[in-house]
Amino acid sequence: LPYLFNRYVRIYHGKGYYSEDFVVNHIKKSKKIIRIICVRNSRISSPDVLRSFREFITKHNGKVELFYIDPSKKMSDDIIDKIRVTLPTPPSNATNCRQEIMSNERRMIDEIKKWDNSKRDNIALFRFRCLPSIHLCQFDNKIFLGFQFINHNESTFLSSRTLNDLCIVINTKSQLGKLITKQIDYLRDTQSDKK
């Protein structure tokens, strides 16, 4: 793994990984596929991001796959709490976190229902039923891999950073990129429910 990491990975030096501007600008540059694995789906449910998804699908007939944590009781409160505390401005408890995810999901579904059928077929929402170890955005052949779990109690370079500050960039055609895309497929096919 260290060999693969050193050979195929670079640090993203742009500002604001996973900020709304970051997501919208990379959607605009994409031509074929967008896949995002997040936690509570707040960014991907914003009006500007949803509008960008629709424009991407309309212009390129591209595919969009969006993954977020399952807010149903299939996920235990313990797992929700482990994830909740890593979030910026975390919800106060597991119940509030579930409600936030469901509210964001409803906003996405309501917006997608307004699209014509040909556009709706190109976007898929997946609720995953496992503890997410990664946060990522795939825009065509680039994967931006964010750091979801960082120990903020340690005085290290990473502990002073947040998810929005730091990510690495991996090409999907590299060995490491191929492994990650296989993991995304596995998450979609075996650990998720399509909404």
Distances in whole angstroms, Cα of residue 7 to Cα of each of 10, 138, 173: 9, 19, 13
Residue 107 has pLDDT above 90, yes or no: yes
Q: Phi/psi class of residue 46: alpha, beta or left (left: φ > 0; alpha: ψ in -120 to 50)? A: beta
> What pLDDT was estimated at residue 12?
59
Does pLDDT of 159 surpass 50? no
The H or E element spanning position 193 is: strand 192-194
| Most confident option among 10-14, 54-58, 116-120, 172-176 | 54-58
pTM of structure = 0.85
Q: How much is the pLDDT for 9?
A: 53
For residues 54 and 112, what is the distance between their CA atoms, to the nearest angstrom? 8
pLDDT at 6: 52
Indicate the angle between helix axes 47-60 and 94-113, nearest 10 degrees. Answer: 40
What's the average model confidence in pLDDT over 122-146? 89
Give the confidence band of 143 by pLDDT, cuts at 50, 70, 90: very high
Rounded to an integer, the average pLDDT of 35-49 is: 93
Higher pLDDT: 49 or 169? It is: 49
pLDDT above 90 (res 39): no
Tell me the C-alpha distance between 95 and 144, whole Å.
Answer: 30
pLDDT band (50, 70, 90) for residue 164: low
Phi, psi of 41 (to 5 degrees): 60, 25
Residue of higher predicted confidence among 124 and 157: 124
Mean pLDDT, the chain, as a whole number? 84
Residues 97 and 90: their CA atoms lie apart, in Å, by 8
Please give the single-letter amino acid code of residue 37: I
pLDDT confidence bin for 160, thresholds 50/70/90: very low
The tokens for 14 are 């742009």
